[in-house]
Amino acid sequence: MTIERGHLLTEQANPKSANLDRLEISELVELFNQEDAYTVEAVGKENHHITQAIALITKAMQQGGRLFYVGAGTSGRLGVLDAAECPPTFCTDPNLIQGIIAGGLPALVKSSEALEDREEDGATAIAEANVTDQDVVFGITAGGTTPYVHGALKKAQIIGAKTIFFACVPSTQVPTNYDLEIRPLVGAEILAGSTRLKSGTATKLVLNTISTGVMVQLGKVFGNRMVDVAVTNSKLGDRAIRIIMDLTKLEKSAATELLQNSGNRVKLALLMHWTGLDSTESDRLLQKHQGHLRTALQHKLETGEKVNN
The model's confidence at residue 54, banded by pLDDT at 50, 70 and 90, is very high
Q: Are 162 and 137 in contact (CB under 8 A)?
A: yes
Dihedral of CA 206/209/212/213: which sign? negative
pLDDT of residue 207: 98
- Taken in order of first residue, the domains within the chain and their CATH numbers are 9-217 (3.40.50.10490), 234-302 (1.10.8.1080)
Write out the H or E segment, with its range, that includes residue 69.
Answer: strand 67-71
Residues marked active site are found at 85, 116
pTM of the model: 0.91
Write out the H or E segment, with its range, that includes residue 220.
Answer: none
The lowest-confidence range among 65-74, 107-116, 170-179 is 107-116
Q: Are 144 and 174 in contact (CB under 8 A)?
A: yes
pLDDT of residue 309: 43
pLDDT of residue 214: 98
For 289-306, write each residue's pLDDT tens digit.
999 999 999 887 777 554
For 17-39, write each residue's pLDDT tens digit.
999 999 999 999 999 999 999 99
Q: Which strand ranges, in their side-by-side order, compose the sheet holding 136-140?
A: 97-101, 67-71, 136-140, 162-166, 180-182
pLDDT of residue 111: 77
pLDDT of residue 299: 84
The C-alpha atoms of residue 173 and residue 87 are separated, in whole angstroms, by 37
The model's confidence at residue 3, banded by pLDDT at 50, 70 and 90, is low
